[in-house]
Structure 1
Amino acid sequence: MERKIVQVLSHNVVLAKLLSGNNSIVFGKGIGFKKKNGDLIDPAAISQEFLLHTAEAIEHYQQVIKMVNFPIIAATEEVIALAIQKLSGPFSDTIHAALIDHINFAIERIKRGIYLSNPFVFEIKYLYPEEYKIAEEAVAYLNKKLDVTLPEEEIAFLATHFHSARSFSDKKVALGIARIVSKILDQLKAEGYKMDASFSMIRFVSHLKALIDRVKSGKTIDNPLIESIRERYSDGFAKARKLADIIAEELGKDVPDKEIGFLTLHLERLPYEFQ
């Protein structure tokens, strides 16, 4: 299919328009070198291509092109390509404009000496481990490519963008889950539990995410051992109920006892700060 260059973003990245009328972001070694708008693209030179399907995505992308320097756009597109290549499943095309805009503002803040804290770094790292790992690579690449020093907090921000694009959800959804998990971990810390990167803690955080998703969707799982758990781990069950109350308050939906039972079993595996 014929493609014409709409905008050269770098030697290796261009924004194109297909014969069908769709816009796409096209990658290829030297694909934009000495090219100008309106030039045809050699299909054999294309290594990757991402379609911008919706009118909203195209409009937002056209806006960022007007506001953001091309090296930032090209470098951000390269890390998006990395994420799409290494993370399974389709990505929402809204990530292109959204992540470019985020990276651009992050760099502007750094130049002004303004650093935006991310209070959910620990939670995001273990809620979305695959995305976090790719985000670490992405931030390292951006720092080298753009000669900047993005702080470690940006890894968590990028991981959230990647997760939202994979799940086709608003970034606020991922941050909302991180906020609930943060409140639960604060409660556990106040009760003497050890906040670390142990396997038990990672597994607990993963369980919390799945639990929150189930409560939100109203599809909780059965627990035939609930009465035995309630009797054998009465203290742990009481603590788990406090955590369930936090989830219920945040989501406006009750957490069934059978889910509290599973939460109790996970609590029993967590280490205390002083043992």
Structure 2
Amino acid sequence: MKVIKNINNNIAHCVDSKGREVIAFGKGIGFYKAGEDIPLSRINRTFYNIKDTDYGVLRTIPTVIINTAIYIIDYVSNELSLDFPSSSAITLADHLQFAIQRKDSNIYLELPLLQDIGQLYPDEMRAAEEALHIIERMTGVKLPRMEAGTLAMHFVTDRINPRTTAYPDTAAITEHCTEMIEQDFRITIDRNSFNYSRFASHLDYLIRRLSSHEQIESRNTDLYEELKDHYPDSQECVKKICAYLTEQLSQPVNNEEALYLVIHINRLLSRI
């Protein structure tokens, strides 16, 4: 396994003996230089078919979170006899980092759909609840039970494309919202990037909630007001997006949903 470039101390972008690019995991393999061969005995895990944008994402996520995500994907795959794409560990690691950041910022959600998720996807919900224990054991972070719902849906959407079923207008609505962001901030957003995929997924769930007359309810009013003052440009953009969503879905967007749109948009912009 020959090194192309290092991602961090324990992850390297490599090419195998058949010329295929791969992300390799192993303790200390990031210290090998470009062009050097890494002994296969030093490699614990490999992932193929990874998008170019994922390499940058991996650099921003602590190794302990990546290892936790790999462990959880393996657990869920074995427990539920599911096949996940090779990128699942990376998307889950990004999901976990965002959940931990929410906790560190004292942002706690109340998910009205938590019971519905448990009824619709009981196996995934049970696996997600066990995943919370795994996260606490491996990272020392105890996430609130609500996060089991978001994890369960993550497992579901990694094997089911939500935009191919119930809401045929979702893609068009998401694209229009994206164009609004591009126009307000005078940027071009890569629709194939990992970060945009996370943003689009959030919009997808928001559209689903609005269409079902369900929205996130929390006690984050003060935080919303604080973010409005701290990110006025994002807030103005979110106001336009909320007005558009209300027009399209005949359901007003509450402050809690607007709060998370501000957070997701800022997260998207920070990685462009």
Which TM-score applies when normalising by structure 1? 0.51
In 2: Cα distance, 1:15 partner to 1:132 partner: 33
Aligned residue number for residue 226 of structure 1:
none
Q: 31, 34, 43: which one pairs with 1:36?
A: 31
Query: How many angstroms does 1:45 deviate by?
Result: 6.0
Q: 68, 71, 83: which one pairs with 1:75?
A: 68
Aligned residue number for residue 166 of structure 2:
none
Aligned residue number for residue 151 of structure 1:
144
- Report the 3-state secondary structure (helix = DSSP H, G, I; strand = E; otherwise coil) of the residue aligned with 2:74: helix
Structure 1 position 114 matched with structure 2 position 107: yes
Aligned residue number for residue 120 of structure 2:
127
The structure that has the greater radius of gyration is 1
The CA RMSD measured in Å over matched residues stands at: 3.5
Show the 5 A alignment for 1:191-210: none
Cα deviation digits, residues 172-200 of structure 1 (max 9, x gap): 6994897499769xxxxxxxxxxxxxxxx
Query: How many angstroms does 1:62 deviate by?
Result: 1.6
Structure 1 position 97 matched with structure 2 position 96: no
Aligned residue pair count: 173
Cα deviation digits, residues 116-140 of structure 1 (max 9, x gap): 2322111111211222222112111
In 1: Cα distance, 2:46 partner to 2:124 partner: 21
Q: Is the 8 A contact 1:123 1:178 kept in 2?
A: no
Segments of 4+ moved more than 4 angstroms: 44-48, 168-184
- Report the 3-state secondary structure (helix = DSSP H, G, I; strand = E; otherwise coil) of the residue aligned with 1:167: coil
Q: Is the 8 A contact 2:84 2:158 kept in 1?
A: yes
Aligned residue number for residue 230 of structure 1:
none
In 2: Cα distance, 1:174 partner to 1:16 partner: 32
Q: Give the partner amino acid of 1:32.
A: K
Aligned residue number for residue 23 of structure 2:
24
Query: How many angstroms does 1:157 deviate by?
Result: 0.6
Does the C-alpha gap of structure 1 residues 183 and 169 become closer, same or farther in structure 2, counting only changes over 3 Å? closer
- Report the 3-state secondary structure (helix = DSSP H, G, I; strand = E; otherwise coil) of the residue aligned with 1:68: coil
Q: Give the partner amino acid of 2:20.
A: G
Show the 5 A alignment for 1:144-183: 144-169=137-162, 171=201, 175=205, 179=209
Between 1:17-26 and 1:170-179, the stretch displaced more is 170-179
- Report the 3-state secondary structure (helix = DSSP H, G, I; strand = E; otherwise coil) of the residue aligned with 1:150: coil
- Report the 3-state secondary structure (helix = DSSP H, G, I; strand = E; otherwise coil) of the residue aligned with 1:125: helix
Q: Give the partner amino acid of 1:163.
A: V
Query: How many angstroms does 1:83 deviate by?
Result: 2.2
In 2: Cα distance, 1:85 partner to 1:113 partner: 33
Unaligned runs of 5+ in 1: 185-249, 251-275
Cα deviation digits, residues 213-256 of structure 1 (max 9, x gap): xxxxxxxxxxxxxxxxxxxxxxxxxxxxxxxxxxxxx9xxxxxx
- Report the 3-state secondary structure (helix = DSSP H, G, I; strand = E; otherwise coil) of the residue aligned with 1:166: coil
- Report the 3-state secondary structure (helix = DSSP H, G, I; strand = E; otherwise coil) of the residue aligned with 1:90: coil
Does the C-alpha gap of structure 1 residues 115 and 9 become closer, same or farther in structure 2, counting only changes over 3 Å? farther
Q: Is the 8 A contact 1:163 1:174 kept in 2?
A: no
In 1: Cα distance, 2:60 partner to 2:42 partner: 28
In 1: Cα distance, 2:32 partner to 2:78 partner: 28
Q: Is the 8 A contact 1:64 1:100 kept in 2?
A: no
Q: Is the 8 A contact 2:110 2:146 kept in 1?
A: yes
